[in-house]
Amino acid sequence: MLDVILLEDEPVLRQELEEFLQELGYAAVSLASIEEFERRFEPARHRLAIIDLGLPDGCGLELIQRLRAAGDPVGIIVFSARNTAADQVRGLELGADHYLGKGADLDVLAATLAALVRRLHLRPGEIAAPQWVLDLGPRVLIVPGAPTVPLSQQDGVVLDCLMSQAGATVTRLQIIEALGEEYLDYDQRKLDTQMSRLRRRIAAISGQALPVKTARNSGFCFYEAAEVRR
């Protein structure tokens, strides 16, 4: 799983982008200020960055200049409302790899990240052994190196579907039937809401991103090694 560090000060957009990156399979940390970025940024870990320009404690362009001056090998995408041709040229001249306006479709952001990953030859780290454990006895999720997360019955069912087939895409049909619902009668927005709520709960309690990516119009995939205890 590749780490992405996201710098965006608008709370609603920051959460939306963080959840979108997690759905794509990235490990995302989202920050609201340059001070937070400089405190949390780890060059060996964060090889991808998405940076806004208008921030409460400075301009993102100055941060990009400092990153390039330090020789940090991070791929940088500017994602900003400042999107004139002059802004784009300035951002690219100062070291951004790509420059996107905030009006861009998120699929364009996803494709831009994927292209940057290919160009930089980035590869997720290998996982030697199962680290995420779903224990259906007490119904908890054991998160590696983090607090254990208690689960509702429905969340336990969904994670059982995903983690027992880790690495494979589990269809919406499979999950909905496991929940005891009729697929044709079920409002699938309820499943999306449940997944979003589950991601937020796990992040809030454990500080870790749930390693589940969304296969558009298909289902979900738990992409790290996992163990289910029954």
CATH number of the CATH domain containing 75? 3.40.50.2300
Round to the nearest angstrom and report the end-to-end CA distance of the chain.
27
**123 or 37, greater pLDDT:** 37
pTM of the model: 0.57
Lowest average pLDDT, out of 53-62, 123-132, 184-193, goes to 123-132
Residue 44: inside a domain: yes
- Top mean-pLDDT range of 62-71, 91-100, 163-172: 91-100
Instruction: Label residue 123 by pLDDT band (50, 70, 90).
Output: confident
pLDDT at 53: 95
Residues 115, 156 within the same domain: no
Domain termination site, one of 119, 149, 176: 119
Domain that holds residue 73: 3-119
pLDDT at 73: 82
Q: What are phi and psi of 13, to 5 degrees?
A: -65, -40
What is the arithmetic mean of pLDDT over 36-55? Answer: 91
Residue 126: inside a domain: no
Domain termination site, one of 119, 143, 168: 119
Q: Residue 131 pLDDT more than 80?
A: no
Instruction: Label residue 162 by pLDDT band (50, 70, 90).
Output: very high
Three-class secondary structure of residue 37 per DSSP: helix
pLDDT at 22: 87
Instruction: Label residue 144 by pLDDT band (50, 70, 90).
Output: confident
Residues 115, 137 within the same domain: no
Residues 222, 198 within the same domain: yes
Residues 172, 69 within the same domain: no
DSSP H/E element including 150: strand 149-150
pLDDT at 124: 65
Residue 125: inside a domain: no
pLDDT at 130: 45
CA distance 78 to 104: 12
Q: What percent of the chain has pLDDT over 90?
A: 66
Answer whether 100's CB lies under 8 Å from 70's CB.
no
DSSP H/E element including 34: helix 34-40
Residues 99, 180 within the same domain: no
Lowest average pLDDT, out of 64-73, 74-83, 170-179, goes to 64-73
